[in-house]
Structure 1
Amino acid sequence: MIVKSLDLENFRNHKDTKILFSDRFNIIYGDNGQGKTNILEAIYLCASGRSHRTSKDSELIRFGCNSYNIKAFVVNSGLDREIDISYFNDQKKQIKINEIPLNKLGALMGNLYAVLFSPEDLFIVKQGPMERRRFADITLSQIKPSYFYDLQLMAKILKQRNMLLKSINTNPSLADTMEIWNIKLAEVAASIIISRRKFSETLSKLAQNQHKYLTVEKEIISFNYNCSFQGNDDSKREELIENYVRILEKNLTRDIALGYTSVGPHRDDYDILINGKSLKTYGSQGQQRSAVLSLKIAEIELIYKETEEYPVLLLDDVMSELDDNRQKYLMDSITNVQTFITCTSDTHFRSTLKEKCNYFKIEDGRAAGEF
């Protein structure tokens, strides 16, 4: 998987930026606030269909303009692909692959795989369940488009069910229609749970191998899926559906009072453990950094395991957050991966990187490249 080039038009602070990349290392450097991260954001958007920094496409438009356009030229499984994403104010995002419009966002998944690593990834450990679900959901959506559609369907069903819960307060007879929404929700929830369970098992094993090496076998990391209602990890699809419907019925009075669905995959979590103890509660800052590093490298391996294609790696100002040992571990672990690194200074990489490398100095949304 290689990103050959990127064209940005009115994206963030980039008016008209065209960049040709190395298929190995790309060092994107310059002062803060010049537009380095915006380049990684555009690549990530081409892989996942969303920005990692905002949920509003309107915020991605250059100030004073009314649209943006991104073109990424990608080699995937030996085939050339042009990913074209456009957005006009107050209109739906338009996506094309090789000039063919996509009707659904899910059709974008699988054309470009990307793993992003930034200082904010410590939120995976430090913050609430939403950050951990987001981490897992984005990776799963890239490698399994059907999972992305399941998430979209669950969101629609939850919206309808929650509206019904609020309406029952004023019209109790509507409670008779709840059964159909319970069944619909349970069916899609079962698919999501099964996918998350498999994902966490695979990622946990891969991360353990990485983390043992990083910590000289002093620590064992676990990334465990914690389903909010399922007690049996071996439950099959039909069992999951029956169990969830039963929980929804049991919680109906409570959900009506709350006005929303209180239990389900939309509220599930993942436990990150070091030697069996909560990393969030008991882990030091250094342990948390090491754990996230291990998870990110495991994410690369998982994508390769599932797709036989290595993702591109986007390192957004993370090298300054890692000590020399962790930096070396990271660089030694990405020998087969096209890598994009943002930083304020290129000096360190010029003296240490011996492989093929392109350098790009970013100033006020403009890129000057050295090849």
Structure 2
Amino acid sequence: MSPPNVQTGASQSEHYLPLLRGKRVALVVNQTSRVHHSHLVDFLLSKHVNVVRIFAPEHGFRGNYDAGAHVSNAIDSKTGIQITSIYGKNKKPSKDTMEQIDIVVFDIQDVGVRFYTYISSMHYMMEAAAESDTQFLVLDRPNPNGKFTDGPILDMDYQSFVGMHPIPLLHGMTVAELALMIKGENWIVDANNLELFTVSNTNYKRSMHYELPVAPSPNLPNSQAVKLYPSLCFFEATPVSVGRGTDFPFQVIGHNELPLGEFSFTPTSRLGAALHPKLENETLLGLNLQHSTQQGLDLALFIKTYQAFSKAGETFFQNANFMDKLAGTNKLRIAIENGQTFQQIRDSWQADLQRFKLQRKPYLLYDEQ
């Protein structure tokens, strides 16, 4: 369980309600945006805050869209507030939309991995706010992978929505710290123009275990999936299933033609979680990782699986372009293809990681340990 005395930014309303009084407020929120037992939207409305718009990221305002699914503009049936999608073609709201807003509040649970797209949505919303003289407030939440800083730094030639910033795969920062860094390093247009506010977590250290009270997205249903996600997500660029369409996504691997273990499972279509998942309705053989102690970034299993496919004469990097976007570089894929061990690959990142740790230091809100 998580330490009971940790208070998220949203739980400390005395620090941000005065900032919202008398303003037209927009929210970037999803199902994780909770103030104790209430959704942030309902909480703010109960405090007579003028919430004029909700911006919905990947998976939607209620968190019930598949990964990559189109998120539509709509009206929230409970409150009547306009919902505007910031996932898909329109990742940044128009200037006309921003002119109707005085302050944007970002309150979404992240998992501390560069290719998890909520921080990309935050980037675009910060830029829209900077360009329109709109204030921006980040209500911080703990990073469940916060004790790890690992992986390759993004090469900006590989910048995409699954990697916007020159940071490691596991960056070890909270969303508020990242927001401060995005502004401070001028990673958005008109960064100096942005009036940025943050509300920090209390009694939080990045080294502590933090169990997420709400699943951050449909295919990260529990803390085990969150722990394994940094390592298993690379399988998304290969023929191997990570369990989308099962009760244990990102907690297994398997394939229908090349047995990867003795654990059997069958992905099926699931509305709101995995509509037509990879290898749908096929019986797969692989590994059950639901009780694995693996955490952080460990690509030993990924490399071993690559070698099994290579030995069988099968193509593993079925989508090399997507693999390189996830990694933020082509060097990881090339190193694996050249037979390097994970330890050799990890050693190649260390100098860049040390430089990054020095670069991020001015923006940290919590002790490094």
Same fold (TM over 0.5): no
Richer in strand (by share): 1
Which TM-score band (shorter chain)?
under 0.3
Richer in helix (by share): 1
Considering only CA atoms, is the larger Rg found in Structure 1 or Structure 2? 1
TM-score (norm 1): 0.24
Structure number with higher relative contact order (C-alpha < 8 Å, ≥ 6 residues apart) = 1
TM-score (norm 2): 0.24
